[in-house]
Structure 1
Amino acid sequence: MHSDAPIDANRQARLDVIPQVDASTPLLAELAEEARRRVALHGQVYDRPPQTRVFTVANQKGGVGKTTTTVNLAAALAAAGLHVLVIDNDPQGNASTALGTEHRAGTPSTYDVLINEAPIHDVVVQSSAFPNLHVVPATIDLSGAEIELVSLVARENRLRNALADYLRYRLREGQPRIDYVFIDCPPSLGLLTVNAFVAAREVLIPIQTEYYALEGLGQLLNSIELIRAHHNPALHVSTILLTMYDARTNLAREVAAEVREHFPEQTLNTTVPRSVRISEAPGHGQTVLTYDPGSSGSLTYREAAREITQRSPSNEGEPR
């Protein structure tokens, strides 16, 4: 992470004035801790990765926070000065909604990229909140793509080829290199998700800290192994993010402990709490970072983004 001495000294001075509060006054302790988190994150600029990192955000179980994780991590990285691309690969278009991107039927979208071989640079739009955050929106047209892809040549490679062309296009045009790509997937293992796996190098799996958290995860990992064997040897699960975490319940703590036991290297230290603000933000066409920048949910996603930038991919795989 990049920082210089004056910024660090100023940050430390601000940390020093926050009072130390013990657990006997839990509300004050919580406020003091959030103040420390804000100071620690304020003004931080992250080092760019040596090459574009491409994540597929996947979990075949619905309602675990895939789209929320996608858009808020993307926003957090963009807010820190990095160049980010979000590819909405889910026909529901929820990532497009949360990023305030037009995605009515007929809007140029991921469907055109996959089915009509439209170049991404003709489809991508710039986020209104962050000029260095770009979005390939999804429309309802994408719901028929699973069937249409079946008969197409190189059906599993269409998104990978389009993304590679777009990254080369930006370099040719003198545009800044994209640092992070996040592909938001539907909660299924069809051809849309297969395209995302083939296009990515890393898989980010959000896991909710509730009953049946690991249900279906084995099938997802088996699917990833099949993609590795037949299409993309570089693919690997690099990151697991625990979501909907409520530290007050034994269940959440037990699930978190179980996930960390099974995936100690991949699981981020940061956990995403249950948060009304996080849930409300998409209804306003925003991420939680712009909807309520000072909220605990916003701080959490900024911390998760920082952690991702500090962690090198655990398996560089074969060159693509």
Structure 2
Amino acid sequence: MGKILAVTNQKGGVGKTTTCINLAASLVATKRRVLLVDLDPQGNATMGSGVAKNELERSVYDVLIGECEIERAIQATEQAGYDILPANGDLTAAEVELLDLSSKEKRLAYALRKVQDNYDFILIDCPPSLNMLTVNALAAANGVVIPMQCEYYALEGLSALIDTIGRITEVLNPGLEIEGLLRTMYDPRNGLTNDVSAQLTQHFGDRVYRTVIPRNVRLAEAPSHGLPAMVYDKQSKGALAYLALAGELIRKQEKPRQAISA
């Protein structure tokens, strides 16, 4: 049964979509079967995977509101190697429509159960806010991957996110845990970066991935070509970093976790 990971942070611009696309492609490179779920109405993960979001016949929106079985909405990406449950602007309407549906927080979880055995990993790209879509992602997931920049305001936002995850665990999904914190856009020459990084490691221990994602031009360029960096330039520092992250994620599945101190 595939592991479901929600990639989320309530702060925008921290590399959630970049992480989803490139981690998915890197896991495929290690011979894992991967499904990427685009749960952001902007549809950036869809476009970055080479799928035209404005030409979709079926999307995650149709799945959430019950108009389409998930198997009919999933598409194979041509070059990236993973499957995707795509999204576009239609998903904005789901935020309102879900409020009137039964089991509104669990719609995604119920849908993913039907295909979970087909994949080793399912990655969910969440919108940069705590709304009903993000709640659906957290209710469906086994673990949460939190991409974040090592800056002052990131720590404040992280505290709020952890509180949110705690509430979801209590009310909707008792099996949910923080899978790992990923330091993105990392510049070791920056003193604040190093200070924040040290605080993260002190507080979260082995839940901070050892792999860091550097600022990298290829990572920024690849989405405009509808490709993961792994396909666009597999020797780039960004691509190699995400490949290392995939290896670390796979290895961590077998290790016991240390508790997070309050």
TM-score range, shorter chain: over 0.9
Equivalent position SS for 2:152: coil
Of the three residues 54, 62, 65, the one matched with 2:15 is 65
CA distance in structure 2 between the partners assigned to 1:276 and 1:107 by the alignment: 33
Asked whether the equivalents of residues 88 and 138 of structure 1 are also in contact (C-alpha less than 8 Å), the reply is: yes
Of the three residues 82, 89, 97, the one matched with 1:140 is 89
In structure 2, the partner of 1:161 is 110
Q: 1:272 to 1:139 in 2, by over 3 A?
A: same
Q: 1:223 to 1:160 in 2, by over 3 A?
A: same
Give 5+ residue unaligned stretches, structure 1.
1-50, 169-176, 316-320
Of the three residues 201, 212, 216, the one matched with 1:271 is 212
CA distance in structure 1 between the partners assigned to 2:256 and 2:214 by the alignment: 26
Same amino acid, percent of matched pairs: 44
In structure 1, the partner of 2:166 is 225
> What CA deviation, in whole Å up to 9, does each residue of 1:57-96 have, x standing for no partner?
0000000000001110000000121100000000001111
**What is the TM-score when the length of structure 2 is the normalising length?**
0.94
Of the three residues 24, 27, 32, the one matched with 1:74 is 24
Asked whether the equivalents of residues 203 and 237 of structure 1 are also in contact (C-alpha less than 8 Å), the reply is: yes
Matches within 5 A, 1:60-139: 60-104=10-54, 107-131=57-81, 133-139=82-88
In structure 2, the partner of 1:56 is 6
Q: Kindly report structure 1 stretches of 4+ aligned residues shifted beyond 3 Å.
A: none
Matches within 5 A, 1:39-50: none
What amino acid sits opposite 1:121 in the alignment?
E
Matches within 5 A, 1:236-255: 236-255=177-196
Equivalent position SS for 1:212: helix
Q: 1:314 to 1:144 in 2, by over 3 A?
A: farther
Cα deviation for residue 314 of structure 1 reads: 5.1
> What CA deviation, in whole Å up to 9, does each residue of 1:195-252 have, x standing for no partner?
0001101000001123312122222111111111111100010111100101111121
Asked whether the equivalents of residues 209 and 255 of structure 1 are also in contact (C-alpha less than 8 Å), the reply is: yes
Cα deviation for residue 107 of structure 1 reads: 3.0
CA distance in structure 1 between the partners assigned to 2:88 and 2:214 by the alignment: 30
RCO higher in structure (CA 8 A, sep ≥6): 2
Of the three residues 157, 160, 164, the one matched with 1:216 is 157
Q: 1:99 to 1:277 in 2, by over 3 A?
A: same
Equivalent position SS for 2:122: strand
Asked whether the equivalents of residues 109 and 140 of structure 2 are also in contact (C-alpha less than 8 Å), the reply is: yes
**What is the TM-score when the length of structure 1 is the normalising length?**
0.77
Asked whether the equivalents of residues 100 and 127 of structure 1 are also in contact (C-alpha less than 8 Å), the reply is: yes
What amino acid sits opposite 1:196 in the alignment?
A
Alpha-carbon RMSD across the aligned residues, in angstroms, is 1.4
Give 5+ residue unaligned stretches, structure 2.
258-262
